[in-house]
Amino acid sequence: MTSASELLAAWEHGLPSGHTQRALLLHRMARPAAGAEELLGVPVGQRDRELFGLRRELFGDRLNGRLCCPGCAEELEFDFTAGAVLAIDPAAEPVWVEHGGYRVRVRPPTPADVLAAGQAGRDVRGELLRRIVLIATHNGKPVGADELPPPARAAVASAAAELDPAAEVLLDVPCVACGSRARALLDIAGYLWAELDSWARGLLLEVHALACAYGWTEPEVLALSPARRRHYLELVGHE
């Protein structure tokens, strides 16, 4: 179990970072023995499954949030469980995709692929395609990923998504007010970071209150169990 001190250190380290680096930092918490190369090389869905596992360990199984209805702008609440994603099978091995004389060997994308694609300027999809296509032929002759026509590219993208279903967790929430449905991807890295940020700021307020009241240091406050810390906060009128 990750300690409060370790969580605070991770939060502090991630404050100046962007989304990609924060996702990597959180994944390292889920796989503490892994190096950056290993973490960047796992399929995106496998990483997200492990982040859902970390979220369940830190804050529980149930995730709650809000979406805006596209039909009437009503605020909708969603309820989701980490276990729903943990039950999804991990990413499969590369597969062959055949379409219109094209035969393509494709693998699921990794965080390294997504990072490289994000740095490719306007050619994000093209760069991602080039990275996940291992082999491509047309009527038996080798071709490059850039030479695949749009229908073959679409088939490759569909196959990659099927290989790694945990990579895209789609929320689908009905609106009782107008009958529309709000759909959105649940970005577990962003969701978990927001929770960690809120938790860390709240904990620092508790440390501040107890340090002012009793003269304790941060390590001394963090050494208290959450139950004892709450009791002391009640005694000093913080809550």
pLDDT tens-digit series, residues 158-205: 999 999 999 999 999 999 999 999 999 999 999 999 999 999 999 999
pLDDT at 239: 55
Mean pLDDT within 89-100: 93
42 lies in the same domain as 155: no
Residue 231 domain-assigned? no
- The conformational region for residue 73 under phi > 0 = left, psi -120 to 50 = alpha, else beta, is left
Based on the domain organization, do 18 and 79 belong to the same domain? Answer: yes
Asked, for residue 232, whether it belongs to a domain, the answer is no
Are residues 134 and 42 part of one domain? no
Residue 28 has pLDDT above 80, yes or no: yes
Please write the tens of the pLDDT for every residue from 51-78. Answer: 999 999 999 999 999 999 999 999 999 9
User: What is the residue range of 189's domain?
Assistant: 4-88+170-201
Please indicate, yes or no, whether residues 78 and 99 belong to a single structural domain of this protein.
no
- Is residue 222 within 8 Å of residue 4, measured between CB atoms? yes
Instruction: Tally the domains of the chain.
Output: 2
Calculate the average pLDDT of the chain: 94
* Co-location of 110 and 80 in the same domain: no
Query: Does residue 237 lie in a domain region?
Result: no
221 inside domain: no
Listed residue (140, 133, 137) closest to 156, CA to CA: 133
Contact 207, 214 (CB under 8 A): no
Task: Specify whether 116 is located in the same domain as 189.
Answer: no
Q: Are 147 and 196 contained in the same domain?
A: no
Q: Does residue 149 sit in the same domain as residue 54?
A: no
For the whole model, what pTM was predicted? 0.91
Whether the predicted pLDDT of 217 surpasses 70:
yes
Write down the pLDDT at residue 235.
95
Check whether residue 179 and residue 76 sit in a common domain: yes
Q: Same domain for 111 and 159?
A: yes
Q: Are 108 and 160 in contact (CB under 8 A)?
A: yes
186 lies in some domain:
yes
